[in-house]
Amino acid sequence: MDGFSFSTEVRVRFAETDAQGIVHNSNYAIWLELARVEYLERHAGGYNALREQGIEALVTETYIRFGVPVHFDDRVRVWARCVDLRGARFRYEYRLQRGEERVADAWTQHACVDRKTFRPTRIPGWLVEAIGRAEADDARRRPPAAENRAAAR
């Protein structure tokens, strides 16, 4: 996927569907979270490594644009990348696909806070570095955009 090096697959649960016969929109936010959790696990020791340092990452903004609706038992691939780490803040961008069909585009904005006071606290240095490495590796692997788009087809 153009510009994304990480992805994970979600299989639609029956409980995630609604009376329209498709996945209820609120579940997409949960799938984005699953992708973040696995991203952190692969690149930075997991979300619990943050929590053990007394830090929680809050969601401060969510944007989702829905494409083709998805159904029970569909497989949805969630591509994710972490960008714009600054102070306490960072951002994830996502692309959700079912095969070649676009299921959604999304981004979420986050802030690290102290687990007890809920006051903003800087992203730990080790996490900034781990994510920097993960995304830089990706950038290096990435072909120029035009070829890349061609390859994605």
Q: What are the residues binding a copy of itself (CB under 8 A)? A: 13-15, 17-22, 24-27, 29-30, 33-34, 37, 46-48, 56, 58-66, 69, 71-73, 115, 118
Which residues lie below 8 Å from residue 71, measured CB to CB, with a gap of 6+?
12, 17, 21, 22, 23
Q: How far is the CB of 142 from a copy of itself (least distance, A)?
A: 27
Shortest gap between Cβ of 33 and a copy of itself (angstroms)?
6
Nearer to a copy of itself, 64 or 128 (CB): 64
* DSSP code for 89: E
Residue closer to a copy of itself (CB basis): 18 or 129: 18
Q: CA-to-CA distance for 133 and 110, rounded, in angstroms?
A: 19
**Residue 9: which residues within 8 A CB-CB, separation 6 or more?**
75, 76, 77, 78
- The dihedral built from the CA positions of residue 70, 138, 113 and 34, taken in this order, carries a sign that is positive
**DSSP codes, 14-77:** GGGB-TTSSB-THHHHHHHHHHHHHHHHHHHS-HHHHHHTTEEEEEEEEEEEE-S---TT-EEE
Based on CB atoms, which residue is closest to a copy of itself, 85 or 104? 104
For a copy of itself, the closer CB: 118 or 126: 118
What's the min distance (Å) between Cβ of 49 and a copy of itself? 11
Which residue, 25 or 148, is less far from a copy of itself as judged by CB? 25
Residue 53 CB, nearest distance to a copy of itself (Å)?
Answer: 15
Cβ at position 30, least distance to a copy of itself in Å: 5
